[in-house]
Amino acid sequence: RPLGYAIVGLGYYGQQIIIPQFANCQHSRLAAVVSGDPAKAKRVAAEHGLPARSIYSYANFDTIRDNPDVDIVYVCLPNSLHAEYTIRAAKAGKHVMCEKPMATSVAECEAMIAACKAADRKLMIGYRSHFEPFNLEAMRLARAGEAGKIRYVRSEHGFVQGDPSAWRLKKSLSGGGSLMDMGVYSLQAARYMTGEEPVAVTARESTDRSDPRFTEVEDIIDWTLEFPSGAIASCQSMYSANQNHILLMGDKGRIELEPATRYEGNRMWLGRDGREREVTAPPGPGKTQFAGQLDHLVQCVRTGREPIVSGEEGLRDMRIVEAIYRSAREGRTIRLDGRA
Ligand code: NAD
């Protein structure tokens, strides 16, 4: 039978994006909802044929341990709540899918990994790009040397954050500004496109602190990663313009994606020998990137394999995120390889 997911947080992503995706899954189904709004939870449950016993509040969430219909808890809450609900889910004996960013600090990520390990449960981060056909094809082309040796990467993600009251702009809920949101895509892409781990980071921030949106968190953050091969990645995120772009420059050509990591409509070009052509991608592992992601964790639960985007992968990003903030704050390059 398909394994059952409980969706924690019926906001934009949980309710509008993830829940409809179970229709595209082969191995996953919606089994429960967890919400602070009983009327909304009841409505969503009714829409999907869930019984009343599959509706939870944040207060009685821990009793989900007694629900055999729920195999996996999917945390779709504001960032600062990811650690708490991942740890509570693991203690309730459930596997966990946690949205990005994994948490708001390295210490939280480590506690989440430890809790899942202690409970012998899988932990996966909602890095959907690893199931998105164009990103997978770009990785394949890059690894196959289609652009030659990759020397330079650009990765830029942002959107106009228009609502000054959004939780994303409250540091206690978000953990930070654009870096904690779209910046995670820029950082992830630099790592999965090169297939390398950065050895140093240099960052700077630009935020108009008189703008009421940015009293607590950053707007633009721009950082350079240096990789062991000598490749450089120039990455950025912002809350003041729409951008969604990944560029790989090799010594024989270029691979470019724009938009690169949207829910749909991504496009890609390959440039080589003075010619540029748009390339399509073969189908990904799921009917959609979301279905591929949801079903991947189920397959990992069934086979005992580690998810390709495990808690450790989220932790690696969070270590770099902390170094990016530190570099911007201290105005210097931060080594990530332990060298002085
Ligand atoms: P949202 O504001 O639409 O939803 C958040 C939900 O959490 C709401 O239902 C809200 O009521 C609930 N909530 C519970 N406790 C809360 C509290 N103390 N304060 C505020 N809200 C509280 O946000 P969203 O866009 O759905 O984002 C949720 C998570 O999903 C974030 O971590 C975000 O980074 C992630 N996300 C991922 C993607 C992706 O493409 N992978 C896209 C959007 C969001």
ipTM for the whole complex: 0.99
Predicted structure pTM score: 0.98
Cβ 178 under 6 angstroms from ligand 1: no
Contact at 8 Å (CB) between 178 and 321? no
Domain 130-284+318-335 has CATH 3.30.360.10: yes
pLDDT at 334: 98
Distance 231 CA to ligand 1 centre (A): 35
Contact at 8 Å (CB) between 28 and 292? no
Residue owning tokens 């830029």: 156
Cβ 78 under 6 angstroms from ligand 1: yes
pLDDT at 274: 87
Please provide the size of the chain in residues. 340
DSSP 253-272: EEEEESS-SSSS---EEEEE
* Spatial distance between the Cα atoms of 145 and 275, rounded to a whole number of angstroms: 16
pLDDT at 273: 87
Distance 104 CA to ligand 1 centre (A): 14
Ligand 1, atom 2: closest residue by C-alpha: 11
Name the burial class of residue 163, with classes exposed (0-12), middle (13-18) and buried (19+) by CB atoms within 10 angstroms of its CB. exposed
**pLDDT mean for each 10 residues of the chain (340 residues):** 98 98 98 98 98 98 98 99 99 99 98 99 98 98 98 98 97 98 98 98 98 98 98 98 98 98 98 94 98 99 98 98 98 93
Q: Which residues sit opposite 154 in a β-bridge?
A: 234, 247
Fold (CATH) for 3-126: Rossmann fold (3.40.50)
Residues 6+ apart with CB under 8 A from 166: none
* Spatial distance between the Cα atoms of 305 and 91, rounded to a whole number of angstroms: 20
DSSP summary character for residue 54: G
- Tokens for 244, please give them: 């969604």
Contact at 8 Å (CB) between 221 and 178? yes
Residue spans per domain, the chain: 3-126, 130-284+318-335
The two most distant CA atoms of the chain are separated, in Å, by 62
Closest Cα partner for 120 from 98, 99, 88, 94? 94
* Spatial distance between the Cα atoms of 8 and 202, rounded to a whole number of angstroms: 36
8, 12, 108, best to mutate for ligand 1 pocket (most atoms within 8 Å of CB): 12
| Collapsed DSSP state (helix, strand, coil) of residue 334 | strand
Q: Which residues sit opposite 29 in a β-bridge?
A: 4
pLDDT at 340: 78
Q: Determine how β-strand 55-56 pairs with β-strand 275-279.
A: unpaired
Distance 75 CA to ligand 1 centre (A): 9
pLDDT at 339: 87
> How many CA atoms, within 13 angstroms, populate the side-chain half-sphere of residue 20?
6
Residues 6+ apart with CB under 8 A from 130: 136, 192, 293, 308, 309
